[in-house]
Amino acid sequence: MGGFVWLIQWPIRALILLLISYLPLGVEMESFQVALLSAVVIGLLGTLLVLPLKALFALPWALTSLGGLIQPVSVLYNWIITVLLFALAAWLIQGFRLKNGILSAILGALAYSILSTIVLRLLGLDVSYTRAMEGIVGAPVA
């Protein structure tokens, strides 16, 4: 069922990316086709790179958060990973641009994370919280 739910979420996430491109965040999406590709790439990057990025940040995270005892520091590292994945997707895909560089990546990743979670939950799709949303709502990532 998980793959089927993802197929349903895919165009919804693409529409959310297109909506974000109309907000004054500095995220530019050339077309719906680019948004569809971007939604796939963001999902794949999240699947493939989360563990290596967490391993890369493990020592600084452990030191600065006292092994996870200081929750805001843990949230910050999750946000850094989310922003990196969003920025990497924009760098890889022609037609997906971050007009204001890292600021657009931060704002775009924030908007994408929040809107995706809200819209998919309103539609009743079984979706786990993203790493970034974990910090906002305080729920663990599934």
Q: What is the pLDDT of residue 17?
A: 96
Distance of CA 114 to the CA centre of its chain: 9
Q: Is 120 left (phi over 0), alpha (psi -120 to 50) or beta?
A: alpha
**Would you say residue 107 has pLDDT above 90?**
yes
Q: Is 28 left (phi over 0), alpha (psi -120 to 50) or beta?
A: beta
Domain that residue 69 falls in: 11-24+31-137
Residue type at position 50: V
Distance CA 63, CA 119 (A): 36
Is 142 a member of any domain? Answer: no
**Would you say residue 140 has pLDDT above 50?**
no
User: Which residues of the chain form beta strands (DSSP E)?
Assistant: 27-29, 96-98
Average pLDDT of the residues in 68-97: 87
**Would you say residue 1 has pLDDT above 70?**
no
Q: What is the pLDDT of residue 76?
A: 81
Distance CA 46, CA 30 (A): 22
Is 70 a member of any domain? Answer: yes
Distance CA 6, CA 12 (A): 10
Report residue 141's pLDDT band, with 50, 70 and 90 as the boundaries.
very low
Is 6 a member of any domain? Answer: no
Q: Which residue has the tokens 């520091």?
A: 73
Q: What is the pLDDT of residue 3?
A: 61
Number of domains in the chain: 1
Contact at 8 Å (CB) between 96 and 30? yes
**Would you say residue 134 has pLDDT above 80?**
no
Is 4 a member of any domain? Answer: no
